[in-house]
Amino acid sequence: MEKMTNQAARRYLRQVRQLLPCSRREKNELTSALRQSLSEYLSEHPNATSEAIQTHFGTPESVAAMCMETTELPSLLKRIHIRRRILTIIVAAVIAILLTWGGFLLYLYTHVQKDALGGYDILTITDLGNQNEETESGSVLTIPET
């Protein structure tokens, strides 16, 4: 097939294809038929603008609407359910990844901080006197009276 040089026509075909609510096979067939007609139209109107193309062929939305109108209802509902299911799975996967990543970062934060202190816990001394404090790691820290 001859390559389409008119940018407006290429953009139009791309927009129609993006909006078509049908299977890949049907999209290919429809855009192929449209491309053929567009080529013939452009041979007579080589500098056709986007507006002129849409006036003749219809807006991408109207083409998509007619496609939807001619699709059997069960098939249309099935496509809607499939899309909803895919969206639900994607959202669930993103949430799971975020939670896992958040948990991992929290784990890193708590353990890296402990390692940086040589395995000791931080204690806040409020009263200076002889104190024997037992830390979480089990070592005894004696703070002399000053």
> Whole-number minimum distance, CB 102 to another protein, in Å?
47
Residue 12 and residue 37: Cα distance in Å, rounded? 13
> Smaller CB distance to another protein: residue 49 or 139?
49
The answer to whether residue 33 forms part of the interface with another protein (CB under 8 A) is yes
Q: With CB under 8 A as the contact rule, which of the stretches 28-36, 78-86, 88-96, 107-115 interacts with another protein?
A: 28-36
Calculate the CA dihedral of residues 41, 42, 47, 48 and round it to 10 degrees.
40
Which of 11, 14, 18, 66 binds another protein (CB under 8 A)? It is: 66
> Smaller CB distance to another protein: residue 28 or 135?
28
Residue written as token pair 């609407």: 65
For residue 121, what is the DSSP state?
Answer: P
Residue written as token pair 């929290």: 106
